[in-house]
Amino acid sequence: MSVRFTKDHEYITADGTVGITPYAQEQLGDIVFVELPRPGQRLKQGDEAAVVESVKAASEIYAPVSGTVTAVNDALTGDPGLINAAPETDGWIYRLAIDNPAELDGLMDAAAYAKLTT
Amino acid sequence: MAEAPDADLKTVVLNDRHIVAGGRMVPFSGYSLPVQYPTGIIAEHKWTREHAGLFDVSHMGPSFLVLDRKSGDGEADHVAIAAVVEPLCCGDIRGLKPGQVRYTLLLNEAGGTHDDLMIARPAAEGWGGALYIVVNAGTKEADFQRIAAAAAGKATLNRSDHCALLALQGPEAVDVMRTLVPGAAELGFMHYGSFGWRETHLVISRSGYTGEDGFEILVDPEHAAALWDLLLADPRVKPIGLGARDSLRLEAGLPLYGHDLDETISPVEAGLNFAISRRRREMADFPGATRILAELGGVLGRVRVGLEVEGAPAREGAEIVDAAGTTIGHVTSGGFAPSLGRAIAIGFVPPESAAPGTRLNVLVRGRSQPAIVVPTPFVPHRYVRKAST
């Protein structure tokens, strides 16, 4: 099971780590503020989970699948630019305990997502 | 997130240069313009504060208003051309010295603002009876129509918005200008002149909208690319997009038309009393004078303030609430200030809540965040008042 992608440019890894894709951070530009979900928060697929603000605008980050927030990346509070610098590693946003792994099957794989963004 | 290309968008003369430079083109005021280049808004913003940024502002409305029948007496012709535009605005245009640029406002009869603009008197004696006028992009069609109508039978408005208008802004702009057009480097702040360059002329003013020292340069379309290339060949100069132009002007506390100024907002509410010239106040002969003079006397429902916002940026439209939780106004411009590393905003509140230090709140996504009234500019202006020699 590898990384899955949404049409809103979130990724989710097999362990439930959620962030935005390199394409998304490139489109947003410099990230200056991140509003994180609350650990323990229950999210349904498609719920607003976080907000990422660039210099120009605020963008909602949705839950790719349903689950419970188990961790958030507190480093983003002091250094939101981590999302620009390393969206897939140090710039992760939050982690979910996934309710139903079958929901992942409805998301795009890397090849499908690459087609969406080219 | 990608913007669909719009076939109806106009392009600027330097469109190809922006694409080559990696500019991300977005629709703005009917034009396709670069919001940023690959380095990004924060890097561009900081570069401009430290070195020199080059902005393409060709979407704006440069124009020349020229008297139809000149007497040949430069002073008398200036008085005559000033009389054409003064009924539209609150600035002392007659009192402009040769070469002087003035920030003023086109007003409606209710004392609201049609636009904010620059009006300048040519320095050269032979140009008496003309004015150099630069209006905002979003309002230029209406402004030009209004000015042309007021001038009918007396003067002719010649649009120059087919040219390129470039802004070179930042502490090193003057040194860059000295290598290009030495005479322009000697201009005082808010003065302009026409300077020979290669086989053309550049209309250069020492002005801008970033809070930094700098210049705005009008160049004909045939020479625009050569000028752009030459400026960017200087290692002190980088191209800067509209995103950083907005964050720079916000930090400088400068109002943006359509946001911090509109048809309902008066110059007094907007804190632009300096733009209501003394002679015009005494004459009370500008549109909306009844309201505006009453406001100057203290009858004022709302005023523009600067806010330092804690936490997430409060964007345009965010409600401003007082300690009791009552909505007292709205944010008209807001965002992240790269030079300060925090969120700032411009908004309107009643005068009793406008004193610096007043603790207010802003509502961002339904949540209340502290905001404190602070004096503007947020970042001190660094205009050069006198020409350096």
**What letter does residue B237 receive in the DSSP assignment?**
E
How far is residue B336's CA from residue B307's CA, in Å, rounded to a whole number? Answer: 12
Contact B313 A33 (CB under 8 A): yes
Which chain A residue has its CA at the smallest distance from B337's CA? Answer: A55
On whether residue B267 sits in a domain, the answer given is no
Look at A9 and B312 and tell me if their CB atoms are within 8 Å: no
**ipTM, 2 decimals?**
0.88
Question: A116 near A110, Cβ under 8 Å?
Answer: no
Taken in order B102, B103, B107, B111, the sign of the CA dihedral is: negative
Question: CB of B334 within 8 Å of any CB in chain A?
Answer: no
Cβ of residue B313 closer than 8 Å to a chain A Cβ: yes
Chain A residues with beta carbon closer than 8 angstroms to that of B245? none
- Residues B45, B90 within the same domain: no
What's the Cα-to-Cα distance from B124 to each of B75, B131, B219, rounded to whole Å? 11, 12, 18
d(CA B117, CA B104): 6
Question: How far B254 CA sits from the closest chain A CA (Å)?
Answer: 17
Q: Across the interface, do B41 and A30 touch by the CB < 8 Å criterion? A: yes
For residues B265 and B288, the answer to whether their CB atoms sit within 8 Å is no
Determine contact: B30 vs chain A, CB below 8 A. Answer: no
Q: What is the DSSP letter of B313?
A: P
| Residue B20 buriedness (CB in 10 A; 0-12 / 13-18 / 19+) | exposed
- Provide the β-strand partners of residue B294: none
Contact B247 A59 (CB under 8 A): no
Helices (H) and strands (E) in chain B, counts: 10, 20
Q: How far is B20 from chain A (nearest CA, A)?
A: 18
In sequence order, what are the residues at sequence separation of 6 or more whose Cβ sits closer than 8 angstroms to the Cβ of residue B71?
A: B77, B80, B129
Tell me, what amino acid is at A59? Answer: S
- B43 and B177 fall within a common domain: yes
Backbone angles phi, psi at B121, to 5 degrees: -100, 130
Strands, DSSP E only, in chain B? 10-11, 24-28, 31-36, 52-56, 61-67, 101-107, 113-120, 130-135, 155-159, 164-169, 192-197, 200-205, 214-219, 237-239, 303-309, 319-321, 327-337, 342-349, 359-364, 367-374
A29:B335 CB<8 A = no
Rounded CA-CA distance B384/A75 in Å is 41
Which of A21, A31, A56 to probe by mutation at the B interface, max B CB count within 10 Å?
Answer: A56
Q: Say if strands B31-36 and B10-11 run parallel, antiparallel, or are unpaired.
A: parallel
Q: Would you call B1 an interface residue with chain A, using a CB distance cutoff of 8 Å?
A: yes
Contacts of B243 in chain A (CB under 8 A): 29, 55-56
Residues 6+ apart with CB under 8 A from B41: A29, A30, A54, A55, A56, B35, B241, B243, B244, B247, B338
- Residue closest to A61 by CA, chosen among A70, A74, A52: A52
Q: Give the strand pairing for B237-239 and B52-56.
A: parallel
Whether B209 and B345 map to the same domain: the answer is: no
Using the beta-carbon criterion (under 8 Å), do A30 and B315 form an inter-chain contact?
no
Q: What are phi and psi of B148, to 5 degrees?
A: -65, -40
Torsion of CA B217, B219, B223, B229, to 10 degrees: 20
d(CA B340, CA B353): 24
pLDDT digits (tens, 9 = 90+) for A11-57: 999 999 999 999 999 999 999 999 999 999 999 999 999 999 999 89
pLDDT in tens, A55-102: 989 999 999 999 999 999 999 999 999 999 999 999 999 999 999 999
For position B123, which CATH number holds? 3.30.70.1400
B53, B168: one domain: yes
Residue B248 host element (H or E)? helix B242-251
Structural domain total, chain B: 3
Cα gap A64→A6, rounded to integer Å: 6
Q: How far B96 CA lies from chain A's nearest CA (Å)?
A: 38
The residues in A 44-73 lying below 8 A from B, measured between CB atoms, are 51, 53-59
CA atoms within 13 A on the CB side of A47: 13
Cβ separation of A55 and B243 shorter than 8 Å?
yes
User: How many contacts (CB atoms, under 8 Å) link A and B?
Assistant: 48
Residue B355: domain span: 301-374
> Which of B112, B140, B159 is where one domain is finished?
B159
- Strand, helix or coil for residue B245: helix
- Among the three residues B192, B216, B251, which one is the final residue of a domain in this structure? B251
Report the alpha-carbon distance of residue B219 to residue B164 in Å, rounded.
5
Residue B343 in any domain: the answer is yes
Q: Which residues of A touch B337 (CB under 8 A)?
A: none
3-state secondary structure B71-117: CCCHHHHHHHHHHHHHHHECCCCCCCCCCEEEEEEEECCCCCEEEEE
Q: Answer whether A33 sits within 8 Å of B343, measured CB to CB.
A: yes
Structure tokens at A18: 């959620």
Q: Mutate which of A32, A38, A84, A113 to test chain B, going by most B C-beta atoms within 10 A?
A: A32
Of B116, B135, B159, the residue at which a domain comes to its end is B159
Which pLDDT tens digits describe chain B residue by residue (389 residues)? 444 556 689 999 999 999 999 999 999 999 999 999 999 999 999 999 999 999 999 999 999 999 999 999 999 999 999 999 999 999 999 999 999 999 999 999 999 999 999 999 999 878 889 999 999 999 999 999 999 999 999 999 999 999 999 999 999 999 999 999 999 999 999 999 999 999 999 999 999 999 999 999 999 999 999 999 999 999 999 999 999 999 999 999 999 999 999 999 999 999 999 999 999 999 999 999 999 999 999 999 999 999 999 999 999 999 999 999 999 999 999 999 999 999 999 999 999 999 999 999 999 999 999 999 999 999 999 998 764 44
Give domain status of residue B67, yes or no: yes
Same domain (yes/no): B178, B108: no
Residues B31 and B51 in one domain: yes
Residues of chain B found within 8 Å of residue A35, distances taken between Cβ atoms: 312, 365
Domain boundaries, chain A: 4-99
Q: What residue type is assigned to position A58 of the chain? A: A
Beta strands in A15-88 (DSSP E): 17-20, 31-35, 42-43, 48-54, 58-62, 67-72
Chain B residue with minimal CA distance to A55? B336
- Alpha-carbon gap: A26 to the closest alpha carbon of chain B (Å): 9
B24 and B168 together in one domain: yes
Q: How many of the other CB atoms lie within 10 Å of CB of B327? A: 11
pLDDT beyond 90 at A1:
no
Q: What's B39's domain CATH number? A: 3.30.1360.120
Question: Rounded to a whole number, what is the distance in Å from the CA of A27 to chain B's nearest CA?
Answer: 7
Is the domain of B153 the same as that of B180?
no
Kindly state whether B366 is in contact with chain A, defined as any CB-CB distance less than 8 angstroms. no
Say if residue B169 is in the same domain as residue B244. Answer: yes
Same domain, B177 and B47: yes
CATH number of the structural domain spanning residue B336: 2.40.30.110
Decide: helix, strand or coil at residue B320. Answer: strand
Does any domain span residue B108? yes
Collapsing DSSP states into helix, strand and coil, what is residue B379?
A: coil
Contacts of B251 in chain A (CB under 8 A): none
On whether any CB of chain B is under 8 Å from the CB of A9, the answer is yes
Q: What is the CATH number of domain A4-99?
A: 2.40.50.100
Q: Nearest-CA distance from A15 to chain B in Å? A: 27
Structure tokens at B109: 């009869």
Amino acid in the structure at residue B307: L
| pLDDT of A118 strictly over 90 | no
The number of C-alpha atoms within 13 Å of B385 and in the hemisphere containing its C-beta is 1
Q: Which of A9, A53, A59 sits opposite B312 (nearest CB)?
A: A53
| B43 interaction partners in chain A (CB closer than 8 Å) | 30
**Tokens standing for B311?**
């936490």
